[in-house]
Amino acid sequence: MRNKFGIGVAFVATAALIAGCSSDPEPAASASTAPAASTSPSDAPAIDGTGAELVVWTDAEREGALKAAAEQFETDTGATVTLVQKNFEDLRNDFVAQVPTGEGPDITVGAHDWLGALVTAGVVDTIDLGDKAGEFQEVALDAMTYDGQLYGLPYSTEAIALIQNADLVGDTAPTTWDEMITMANDAGFEDRPFILFTNGASGDGYSAYPLQTSFGAPVFVQDESGSYTSEVGMGGENGEAFAQFLYDNGAKGTGIFSDTIDYDTSNQLFADGESPFIMQGPWMPFFDDSDMNLVVSPMVSAGGETAAPFVGVQGFYLSSQSNNALLANDFLVNYMATEDAQRTLYEADPRLPALSALADEVSSDPITAGFVASASAGVPMPSIPEMGNVWDLWNAAEIQIITGAEPVSTWDNMVTELEKSLEG
């Protein structure tokens, strides 16, 4: 089954950077040719912005989509919107450096996992979506929330999901670990039923996270607002049960999990039909020009609870030093949070929409629907500074357990070391 959409992604798991690409069989509209959809505001009266200027930082992929909303905003308010194109990789550091000097923008596009650094630096302000908050997926709003305050307008989500080769195991998606493994074994794939860890000996807690959360062992605890606290959530009996699961399926158990499969090898094994299941994202090459018959679904549960992957979110931030904060908030809420504007963003740079109505619309394609369902079941990648302490300890412990270390003590020692590192 061919994919009908394209999604770009960039995330960091330990030291591995996985860059995404467009996978639309028909080229998506470029930034310069993105359709100028109507972006008329809601019923809210336009603010008089005569003589004011909003500076918006964007990248090439989204500049054209922003232009349509900016032109309508200028017509309605009398303000001027200046779009400044920058390399996406430079946006966060430049924003942190320039906002305090007064040289930064009023608004910047960015990833949600920048939020902790932006709040700590004091360069980002809260925004008020009002009733429009209910129109966005909860996981997207949670990702843009820090200490109970919403700091960004989300527009896209992305997450890994379970991908299966329907020609090998049929087109019925499994819902439990045992069901998935049975399907693979019955099809003759006892030696390689499922590919999970793709960072080889470096470990891959990112890919394993849906299985970990299915045991009720989140990396950090979230409060009622969806914000992450600094309380480590993967200790205790639930974390130990997950560690035992890793051990039971590692070198001294079933051998399903290995420390010898790297990113390129895992993708090639799946593409060559040597494994029927893989945990990966929509950025994979077999969604480009492949004729593979694929089914995408949320990850199966191994521990009885929902398997929740990390979700990455893209959105727009408001500068804490904006001289036109009310005008900038109006632009985001009444011009960029509209269905037309969000659709234009999707058409210019296709990523899973954060706006619920648009996510439902693009889910008419079953491949897209599978990734939307996976993201909807997920949790935001923690944006708190404490997450920087996690990766090395976490990944190392998982690989040690998979290669034969005593699971409970190895896991508990990792949690203890993590908690100590956070105390400092």
Q: What pLDDT, in 10s, does the model give residues 223-247?
A: 988 889 999 999 999 999 999 999 9
Element (H, E) at 94: helix 88-98
178 and 143, same structural domain?
A: no
Is the predicted pLDDT of residue 292 greater than 60, yes or no? yes
Identify the CATH number of the domain in which residue 115 sits. Answer: 3.40.190.10
Residues above pLDDT 90, as percent of the chain: 79
The distance in angstroms from the start CA to the end CA of the chain is 51
In a domain, 68, yes or no: yes
3 state SS of 335: helix
What residues contact residue 398 under an 8 Å CB cut-off, 6+ apart? 197, 203, 204, 205, 208, 246
Of 316, 322, 328, give the one whose Cα is nearest residue 62: 316
Token pair listed for 366: 């079953």
Burial of residue 412 (CB within 10 Å: 0-12, 13-18, 19+) is: middle
Residues of the domain holding 110: 7-158+311-380
In a domain, 385, yes or no: no
Mean local confidence (pLDDT), 300-327? 97
What integer best gives the mean pLDDT of the chain? 88
As separate numbers, helices (DSSP H) first and strands (DSSP E) second, the chain gives 15, 18
113 and 14, same structural domain?
A: yes
Of 223, 250, 221, give the one whose Cα is nearest residue 234: 221
Tens of pLDDT, residue by residue over 324-367, are 999 999 999 999 999 999 999 999 888 999 999 999 999 999 99
How far is it, in rounded angstroms, from Cα 163 to Cα 281? 8
In a domain, 2, yes or no: no
Tens of pLDDT, residue by residue over 95-117, are 999 999 999 999 999 999 999 99
Is the predicted pLDDT of residue 146 greater than 60, yes or no? yes
**Within 10 Å of residue 96's Cβ, how many Cβ atoms?**
18
350 and 397, same structural domain?
A: no
In a domain, 171, yes or no: yes
336 and 296, same structural domain?
A: no
pLDDT at residue number 225: 84
Of 6, 96, 2, 101, give the one whose Cα is nearest residue 57: 96
Domain count, the chain: 2
Is the predicted pLDDT of residue 15 greater than 80, yes or no? no
217 and 144, same structural domain?
A: no
In a domain, 145, yes or no: yes
111 and 220, same structural domain?
A: no
How far is it, in rounded angstroms, from Cα 60 to Cα 349? 10
Task: Give 21's strand partners.
Answer: 7
pLDDT at residue number 282: 87
Token pair listed for 202: 């470096």
315 and 303, same structural domain?
A: no
In a domain, 234, yes or no: yes
- Helices 236-248 and 391-402: crossing angle, nearest 10°? 50
DSSP assignment letter at 59: -
120 and 184, same structural domain?
A: no
232 and 185, same structural domain?
A: yes
11 and 96, same structural domain?
A: yes
49 falls in which pLDDT band (50, 70, 90)?
confident
Tens of pLDDT, residue by residue over 169-184, are 999 999 999 999 999 9
339 and 253, same structural domain?
A: no
In a domain, 180, yes or no: yes
194-195, strands of its sheet edge to edge? 194-195, 277-280, 161-165, 294-297
355 and 294, same structural domain?
A: no
How far is it, in rounded angstroms, from Cα 261 to Cα 308? 23
In a domain, 177, yes or no: yes
How far is it, in rounded angstroms, from Cα 104 to Cα 360? 36
Task: Give 295's strand partners.
Answer: 164
Element (H, E) at 415: helix 407-423
